[in-house]
Amino acid sequence: MKPSMSIVVVVFFVTFQAISAFNPEETCIRRNIDRSQAPKSSLEPKTPMFDSLRDTFCRDMARAVMFYVRITGKLPSHYVKAMCNVFGNDEKKVKEYVMDKWLGGSKLVSNLSCPLP
């Protein structure tokens, strides 16, 4: 393999990884929303190869957010921003998501607002 070709391959791989892992919080929020939807009818459930790794990462991220909430009594700003991005800056949907998914959500939504773009 020529050196220029290997550089192209490395740049492609790094770019692909950067795009696929752009915002892991948003990815986990979307996965939680997808799980709460009605399952698609399929005879064979097809799961991607790295689903268990993604699930582990999302569980760990949720634990970190829960720990932050226990310490400070509010959601981390980066997580709020990720929720706002997922729901298109619709504060009503963000608050509904927090009320449904987070224990003690009524306390968390009192000071919750999406940042202006």
* CA–CA separation, 18 and 78 (whole Å): 18
Q: What is the pLDDT of residues 61-88, one digit of tens each?
A: 989 999 998 899 888 988 999 999 999 9
The reported pTM is: 0.68
Instruction: Read off the pLDDT of each residue in 86-94 and give the average, rounded to a whole number.
Output: 90
- In a domain, residue 57? The reply is yes
- In a domain, residue 64? The reply is yes
- In a domain, residue 96? The reply is yes
Mark out the alpha helices in 21-115 (DSSP H runs). 24-36, 51-72, 77-86, 91-101, 105-108
47: which DSSP letter? -
Q: Which residue has the higher pLDDT, 82 or 49?
A: 82
- In a domain, residue 100? The reply is yes
- In a domain, residue 77? The reply is yes
Percent of the chain topping pLDDT 70: 68
Q: How far, in Å, are 48, 79, 93, 100 from residue 104 at the CA level?
A: 33, 16, 17, 10
Tell me which residue range forms the domain holding 66. Answer: 23-32+50-110
- In a domain, residue 62? The reply is yes
Band of the pLDDT at 40, cuts 50, 70, 90? low
- In a domain, residue 68? The reply is yes
44: which DSSP letter? S
Q: What integer best gives the mean pLDDT of the chain? A: 77
- In a domain, residue 74? The reply is yes
Number of domains making up the chain: 1
